[in-house]
Amino acid sequence: MSTSTASALQTDTPGAQGWLYSRDWDLTFITLSVVLVSLPYLVYLGLVEMAPLLEPLAASLSTTVDDLSRNIVNAAVALLVGGPHMYATFSRTAFNRDYVQKHRFMIWTSLLIPVIVVTLALSWLQLLLTVFFFWASIHVLHQIVYITELYNHKQPVGLTKFSRFADYAVILTALYPLAAWKISINAFAIGQNNISEVVGRILSFFGLSLGPWMIWLAGGAFAIALVLWIVKTVMEWRQGTLHGPKTLFIALTVIASFFVPALGNLDTAFQGMNVWHSLQYLALTWMLNNLRMRHGEMEDKPFLKRISEDGSARRYYLFNVGLTVADVMLAGVIFFILTSVTGKGFDYAFDRSYYIAILSFLWMHYYHDHFLFTEPEVIEIQPLPQPALSRSA
């Protein structure tokens, strides 16, 4: 979303040939940015290899090099993209008075989320992380479905119910086969928290237990969905109705989703998906706000217009980074309170202060997006011709 990239977009016809905005923009921010999925894990492995240098710092914080490396990656991702992407949501909801007027119930009920997060963080962190993982996975998948629907709105010709069903099925099942395998062997852990144990407790209420049946169920569902999607893709290619940009996006998404749970440190592994997901979201939100601005919907909203106009990508990003920094400061205050009151070590206080500060806003972001992601028709707003963007934004 740099101004240089955005400037190049002006030479393309927005939405041409089924692209959301243009070929270069889509490939840069939506599809080929999949390469970023591996980055957090590679950084984590590099930090672990620096153990002799990090051991004194880890010892002073009463933690291990592995956990210190994991937390460094988590903090970096949260600051650079994870935090900014969740605050970007509010430029379409809480910061938009027109949206607030239309969705008062959603806005006010979202204020209950921090209460739930604080309660679980202090009483049952494993349950908090279990809910977080499954809601995060649903949210990521929901965004992928949303992007798919945005593509469908750009090229509705030849779209059938079978085509849409096959797309949804392969998207919604790719993440779970290897995740189910790790859960079934009691090896699904995020940081120091074993999520398999919590899943086992939940299953016990229904008279079930962890076992191979989970792999067969998740793997079988994905195998069927993959076959249907391949058949659908071949049929559309032969009929001349294949949506190239959407097909490439789904294919890369399925590959990344399937293999990420196979990595060793799942906390860091899923940060890779988070980086890709967050970059997509930042770009999509700016683009949709930019389309609304070009359509004349922000004339009475000077602040939103300023971070949505052509050439404002850097300004928009830095604003969301600023909100993230404020949240990090809040986490620091919570960390100080927890260490002072409980007398616990670094890992206890760091994890809880991090999750309280981050998940309170992150879950509000999830909640708001469950409404926003039901409105793919917003992509039908066509941008008006504009002069080339200034590089001074």
Look at residue 7 and tell me if it is in a domain. no
At residue 259, the pLDDT reads 93
3-class SS string, 361-386: HHHHHHHHHHHHCCCHHHHHCCCCCC
| SS3 label, residue 296 | coil
DSSP symbol at 156: -
Average of per-residue pLDDT across 41-55? 91
What does each C-alpha distance from 2 to 34, 189, 300 come to in angstroms?
Answer: 18, 37, 26
Look at residue 5 and tell me if it is in a domain. no
At residue 14, the pLDDT reads 45
**Own/partner pairs, 120-125, CB within 8 angstroms, 24+ separation:** 121/352, 121/355, 121/356, 121/359, 122/352, 125/193, 125/351, 125/352, 125/355
Q: Record the tokens describing residue 83, joined without a space.
A: 């935090």
Q: What is the mean pLDDT of the chain?
A: 86
Q: Residues with Cβ < 8 Å from 225, sequence gap 6 or more?
A: 166, 169, 170, 172, 173, 174
Look at residue 213 and tell me if it is in a domain. yes
- Banded model confidence at residue 16, pLDDT cuts 50, 70, 90: low
Look at residue 157 and tell me if it is in a domain. yes
pTM (2 decimals)?
Answer: 0.84
CA 141 distance to own-chain centroid = 9
CB 267 within 8 A of CB 191: yes
At residue 263, the pLDDT reads 86
Look at residue 184 and tell me if it is in a domain. yes
Beta strands in the chain (DSSP E): 189-190, 193-194
Look at residue 361 and tell me if it is in a domain. yes
- Provide the 10 A C-beta neighbour count for residue 46: 11
At residue 292, the pLDDT reads 87
Q: What is the pLDDT of residues 321-356, one digit of tens each?
A: 999 999 989 988 988 888 887 777 677 788 888 889
**Element (DSSP H or E) covering residue 12:** none
Number of domains, the chain: 1
Q: What is the pLDDT of residues 214-263, one digit of tens each?
A: 999 999 999 999 999 999 999 999 988 899 999 999 999 999 999 999 88
Residue 11 pLDDT greater than 60, yes or no: no
- Banded model confidence at residue 382, pLDDT cuts 50, 70, 90: low
- Provide the 10 A C-beta neighbour count for residue 83: 27
Task: Print the domain residue range for 371.
Answer: 29-337+351-380
Look at residue 205 and tell me if it is in a domain. yes
As a whole number of Å, the end-to-end CA separation of the chain is 12
CB 122 within 8 A of CB 352: yes
